[in-house]
Amino acid sequence: MSALICEVVYRGIFQKNLASRITRGIVLSARKSGRWGIAFGRYGDSPQRNGIPAKDFAIVADTKEELEQNMARYEPKHVDVTICVDDTLAKGVESWAWYGLQPINRLTLPNGTLLMTSLQPFEDLLRDIHKKDEPYTLAVIRARASFSGLWVYKEDHTEVRILGALAKIAPEFLTLDGVCQAIGEMEWGSELKVASVRKAYERLEARQIQPGEGNAEVPYAFELPRWWEMREGVTIPAIPIGKPKEGGKGYVPERNPYFKKFTTRTMRPVVDFDTCVKCNLCWIACPDSCFDVMPDGTFDANMEACCGCGVCEAVCPVESCITMVNEAVFEDNASQWDMWRKDKTAYKTWLTDKITNKKATVRSHGFRFRGQYEEEIKTDLDAGGAEITAGIPGENAKHKTI
């Protein structure tokens, strides 16, 4: 008796359909080798919210009894394979208040696999992924965060490439033939997609990660209060008023210490304090009150509070004063203003490096122009990207059952 438990960590809205297609694919592929399975979604916050980290699961087992045994809880506590289809989630996820920061590999079993789509080198990913006490395998399919689950975007084959990779990771449950059969015959009905499965199977990159290897940060965590410790009347204390910065100047608002929300962020604002005209607009427009007012009257986006919505960039009247940059190129949440004050020349170099990086400043979640995603996907072809096909993923099959 044995079972394979997989989780898919994805970003709400953007990848909701993609994630469910992956988990369905796992079950349908395993079924081709006579396995039983179930695919299901769980969520802390709503997967309908933009960018909120959410999860889908797939369990396949030899017998119905073993499947039930693994289903008799709200969601799996340990998984054989963690699948992450957006590498900005490598820094961890926080989908609800009091969850704390949960490392992306938190549920991955010893000697299990973290399977990611990413264009980053392993060492860059490991600066984000928290260290573990047990070894595991980091497997990477070269691809950017996929949007093909959204009906307005084109196919990029991410879901079948993940399945092809799984055939290599867990061949005892998902044989390559089983996956190809499922893709060819069932909901997908596409030979082109079968080819993508085989390519992913061959091109999968994997590396053994040793205990202690990875981001050494201790993720913040909370104890949930007992029923008699909680306030009555479904009430919580309001967030207190904030405090001025040094010398009684500036202003830093208090923030919810139990829900920082920054794992929702896929891009972050980079601020040029030298060109800031102190107009207040970013501070006023920010829906999360993430800007701290500095003693000199400039505004520092607090990276513990920023969800990365980009409203500040949109309202800033100064060219290139606020620029949204992909989260993947940052390694910590340190204050940009402190960096700037310490060494203005060094900050200018750092800033220029970030905001002139074309790959990092294109919108990763939401686009500047029609067709941007298709262009990007094509340019990724050399790195193992997929052909773009017309139509809606999973909607072309003659054999589609739902």
Partner 1 sequence: MAVATKTAPAVAEDRELLISGSEAVAEALALADIDVVTAYPIRPYDTVMQAIAKKIANGQLVAEYIVAEGEHSQFEVVKHASTVGARVFCGSSGVGWAYAMECLVVTPPLRVPMVAMVGNRALDDPGAFGVEHNDALFVRDLGWMLVWIDSSQEALDTTLIGYRLAEDRRVFLPLAISADGAFLTHSQALTLVPPKAKVERFLPPYNRGDLLLHPDNPITVAPQANEDWVIEIRRQNNEAMARAVIVIEEAYADFRTIFGRGPENPWFEEYMTDDAEIILVGMGTISLPIKVGIRNMRAQGKKVGLVRLRWFRPFPTDRLVAALSKASVIGVIDRDYSFGSPFGSGVVANEIRAAMYNAPKRPPLVSFICGLGGREVTLEDVYKVTDLCYNAAKTGKSDTKTHWLGVRE
Q: Which is nearer to partner 1, 43 or 273 (CB)?
A: 43
Q: DSSP for 160-214?
A: HHHHHHHHHH-TTTS-HHHHHHHHHHSSS--HHHHHHHHHHHHH-EEEEEPTT-S
Q: In angstroms, give the least distance from the CB of 145 to partner 1.
A: 26
| Token code pair at residue 36 | 């039983």
The Cα–Cα gap between 309 and 287 comes to: 9
Q: Which is nearer to partner 1, 235 or 401 (CB)?
A: 235
Q: Which is nearer to partner 1, 57 or 173 (CB)?
A: 57
Can you give the binding site for partner 1, defined by CB under 8 A?
44-45, 74, 96, 98, 224-228, 230-238, 240
Q: In angstroms, give the least distance from the CB of 126 to partner 1.
A: 31
Q: Which strand (E) or helix (H) includes residue 138?
A: strand 136-141
Q: In angstroms, give the least distance from the CB of 144 to partner 1.
A: 31
Q: In one letter, which amino acid is 117?
A: T
Q: In one letter, which amino acid is 152?
A: V
Q: In angstroms, give the least distance from the CB of 238 to partner 1.
A: 3
Q: Which strand (E) or helix (H) includes residue 285?
A: helix 281-285
Distances (CA, A) of 262 to 123, 250, 251, 267, 290: 23, 23, 21, 10, 10
117 contact partners, CB below 8 Å, separation of at least 6: 84, 85, 86, 87, 140, 141, 142, 143, 144, 145, 146, 158, 161, 162
Q: In angstroms, give the least distance from the CB of 225 to partner 1.
A: 8
Q: Which is nearer to partner 1, 98 or 122 (CB)?
A: 98
Q: In angstroms, give the least distance from the CB of 261 to partner 1.
A: 14
Q: Which is nearer to partner 1, 96 or 350 (CB)?
A: 96
Question: Which stretches within 327-396 are classed as H helix?
Answer: 336-342, 344-355, 358-361, 372-379
Q: Which is nearer to partner 1, 43 or 347 (CB)?
A: 43
The Cα–Cα gap between 306 and 289 comes to: 8
Q: In angstroms, give the least distance from the CB of 309 to partner 1.
A: 20
Q: Which is nearer to partner 1, 96 or 122 (CB)?
A: 96
The Cα–Cα gap between 90 and 302 comes to: 20
Note whether 305 and 255 are within 8 A (CB): yes
Q: Which is nearer to partner 1, 88 or 95 (CB)?
A: 95
Q: In angstroms, give the least distance from the CB of 310 to partner 1.
A: 25
Distances (CA, A) of 165 to 72, 126, 191, 261, 311: 28, 20, 17, 31, 37
